[in-house]
């Protein structure tokens, strides 16, 4: 059992994790003609909890209860992995990336997310407003506008040959590259990095 725990604590190589993620698509389709995606679960939660009669939330959300259980499992799995299965080794980040981030004031690579951005002290600051509130709004708006999130489009949509998912994924990638190489530095300087 101890060997299993040590094995599961290690990062899994792409050739193991990738096929496991990829095989969820045919499994979901074969087992119940279900589609994979995380962002739709927020709609299901709102449909279950908000009795306002809003047409967008008026549907049989109970048919999608499996999706809510999946998201609950993701949350529980994340908690267990962070608190009991964390890899004690230092996060491996290329030297070039570390140097690029250091020019932006990000130097603490001891955890999964940079402490200079993701800390309780930053939550109620200009950084927090920009990264958490405005960034969260943009992610939510983009997800709704694109009709789904990256997992739904890039994993499920492309594998089931849906053209809108290909387009959405292309624009997700363009947005990521644009943010990384053009907008990140000015935004970091704007909020005082």
Supply the pLDDT for residue 182.
92
Length of the chain: 193
CA distance 104 to 75: 31
Checking if the pLDDT of 174 tops 90, the result is yes
Reported as half-sphere exposure (CB side, CA atoms, 13 A), residue 176 has a value of: 7
Percent of the chain with pLDDT over 70: 99
Supply the pLDDT for residue 86.
77
CB 155 within 8 A of CB 36: yes
pLDDT digits (tens, 9 = 90+) for 101-116: 888 888 888 777 888 8
Q: How confident is the model at residue 136 (pLDDT cuts 50, 70, 90)?
A: confident
CA distance 175 to 182: 10
What b/e sequence results for 131-156 when a residue is b if at least 16 CB atoms lie within 10 Å of its CB, and e otherwise?
bbeeeeeeeeebbeebbbbbebbbbb
Supply the pLDDT for residue 35.
80
Contacts of 64 (CB under 8 A, 6+ apart): 40, 41, 44
pLDDT digits (tens, 9 = 90+) for 26-53: 888 888 888 877 888 888 888 888 877 7
DSSP state of 130: I
Checking if the pLDDT of 74 tops 80, the result is yes
Other Cβ atoms closer than 10 A to 3: 7
Q: How confident is the model at residue 177 (pLDDT cuts 50, 70, 90)?
A: very high
Supply the pLDDT for residue 146.
85
CA distance 183 to 57: 35
Q: How confident is the model at residue 72 (pLDDT cuts 50, 70, 90)?
A: very high
CA distance 150 to 4: 31
Other Cβ atoms closer than 10 A to 157: 26
> Is the pTM here over 0.95, yes or no?
no
CA distance 154 to 159: 8
Supply the pLDDT for residue 149.
85
Q: Which two tokens stand for residue 64?
A: 């999608």
CA distance 134 to 184: 14
Contacts of 103 (CB under 8 A, 6+ apart): 185
Supply the pLDDT for residue 117.
80
């Amino acid at each position: 059992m101890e060997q299993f725990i040590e094995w599961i604590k290690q990062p899994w190589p792409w050739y193991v994790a990738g096929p496991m993620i990829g095989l969820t698509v045919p499994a979901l389709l074969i087992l119940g003609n279900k589609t994979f995606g995380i962002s739709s679960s927020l709609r299901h939660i709102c449909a279950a909890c908000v009795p306002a009669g809003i047409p967008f939330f008026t549907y049989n959300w109970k048919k999608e209860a499996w999706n809510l259980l999946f998201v609950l499992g993701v949350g529980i799995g994340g908690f267990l992995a962070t608190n009991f299965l964390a890899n004690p080794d230092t996060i491996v980040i290329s030297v070039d990336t570390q140097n690029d981030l250091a020019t932006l004031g990000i130097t603490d690579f001891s955890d999964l997310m940079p402490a200079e951005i993701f800390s309780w002290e930053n939550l109620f600051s200009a950084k927090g407003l920009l990264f958490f509130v405005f960034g969260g709004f943009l992610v939510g708006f983009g997800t709704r506008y694109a009709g789904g999130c990256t997992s739904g489009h890039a994993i499920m949509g492309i594998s089931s040959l849906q053209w809108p998912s290909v387009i959405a994924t292309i624009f997700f990638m363009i947005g990521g590259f644009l943010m990384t190489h053009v907008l990140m530095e000015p935004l970091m300087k704007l909020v005082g990095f």
